[in-house]
Structure 1
Amino acid sequence: MSVETEVETFTLAEILAVARDSNRLILWNDETNTFEHVIRCLMHHLQYSETESERIAWEVHNKGKCIVLEGSYTEVEVYRKILKSEGLTVSTE
């Protein structure tokens, strides 16, 4: 008796897409931080341009939150601690 099996192959891109971590760093609106402080922190720590940092600050102001980083748990956690030490209200999901 013979058993046939089908071999399924995947490309590297397909494997990485499935294995990718979906950790997110979320910046929340609060009543203590100024636009200038938020923009300065995003530019300094996350290397966003001034224009992108302003866009994020406005999204946080208008929608209450904004995803500012997606990546591995370690990367997101490092930046969460950095931004929190700057007084920003951040969380991960």
Structure 2
Amino acid sequence: MSLESLFPDLKENIKKKQTNKYALILHNDEVNDFEHVMESLIEVCRHNSEQAEQCTLLAHLKGKCDVKHGEYSYLEPMREALLLRGISATIE
């Protein structure tokens, strides 16, 4: 019995993980207001206003929100830029 027969979605899941290995995570805080976070997501992550609003609201309600996916080297400058603006962000 092969792995593919046991896990039919295995190849697709591996392919997906290889192309988007990491996520830039926005964390909720009690310091920054919605406007500042939204403006930062628009400028740093190139979100449109609707995306920025949704991510900001999700982080507020759930504690965190993944705002961008990709290679670590692609996400790290965005994380640094958010941190410089006082916004809590990690890469997972």
CA distance in 2: counterparts of 1:17 and 1:33, whole angstroms? 33
2:66 aligns to what?
67
Contact 1:39 1:50 in 2 (8 A): yes
Query: Cα 1:60–1:17, aligned 2, differ >3 Å: closer, same or farther?
Result: closer
CA distance in 2: counterparts of 1:58 and 1:19, whole angstroms? 29
Give the fraction of aligned pairs with identical amino acids, expressed as a percent: 34
2:23 aligns to what?
24
Structure 1 gaps of 5+ residues are 1-14
Point out the structure with max Rg over C-alpha. Answer: 1
2:48 aligns to what?
49
Give 4+ residue runs of structure 1 displaced > 4 Å after superposition. 15-18
Over aligned residues, Cα RMSD in angstroms? 2.0
Q: Please identify which structure carries the higher helix content.
A: 2
TM-score, length of structure 2 as denominator length: 0.78
